[in-house]
Amino acid sequence: MDLKQMYREIVNEHNLHPSHKHDTENPSVVLRGVNPSCGDDILLQLKIEDGVITDGSYIGSGCAISQASADMMLDLVIGQSEEDAKKLADIFLRMIKGEATEEEIETLDEAAALENVSKMPARVKCAQLGWRTLNEAIDSKNNES
């Protein structure tokens, strides 16, 4: 998939018409993620009950890839256990480094469309922002409790 196609088919829709860009009521954990050099900035909000992400959202601003990636991530992880969400994060972060298997990438559903970002070093951080913040949010919540 070339870059223009990636924007047209996946990124633009999630960037301009996101499903999860709003506040979550009574979140269990809220964490800010930023890419200082690009100005990408998200506030990830997760509701976690009995180890399961029952709801989640983000607000923020940034490039289309950072915002769309966060939106696609929430599509995937809402309804998953913390453990499974972290597994997906691991696969995604490895995919962006060009280190995930095809089988693994398939489990990422739409987010797999960002695979080619691995060939654009300047955009890697944009694609990773949501997932890195998710990892940190889950860890920070579990460190607290």
Q: Which helix (H) or strand (E) holds 65?
A: helix 64-77
Beta strand pairing status for 29-35 and 40-49?
antiparallel
Phi, psi (rounded to 5 degrees) for 72: -65, -35
Distance CA 126, CA 53 (A): 23
The minimum distance between CB 4 and another protein, in angstroms, equals 5
By the rule CB under 8 A, 132 interacts with another protein: no
Q: Give 16 or 106: the residue with its C-beta nearer to another protein.
A: 16
Q: Give 13 or 90: the residue with its C-beta nearer to another protein.
A: 13
Q: Give 54 or 116: the residue with its C-beta nearer to another protein.
A: 116
The minimum distance between CB 126 and another protein, in angstroms, equals 7
Calculate ∠ Cα 40-131-23, nearest 5°: 70
The minimum distance between CB 115 and another protein, in angstroms, equals 15
82-96 and 124-144 are packed helices; what angle lies between their axes, rounded to 10 degrees?
150
Q: Which of residues 25-84 bind another protein (CB under 8 A)?
A: 37-41, 61-65
The minimum distance between CB 135 and another protein, in angstroms, equals 23
Using CB under 8 A as the criterion, what x/- string covers residues 108-127 for binding another protein? ------------x-xx--x-
By the rule CB under 8 A, 21 interacts with another protein: no
Q: In what side-by-side order are the strands of the sheet with 40-49?
A: 29-35, 40-49, 52-61
Q: Tokens representing 137?
A: 């949010």
Q: Which residues bind another protein (CB under 8 A)?
A: 2-4, 7-8, 11-13, 15-16, 37-41, 61-65, 120, 122-123, 126
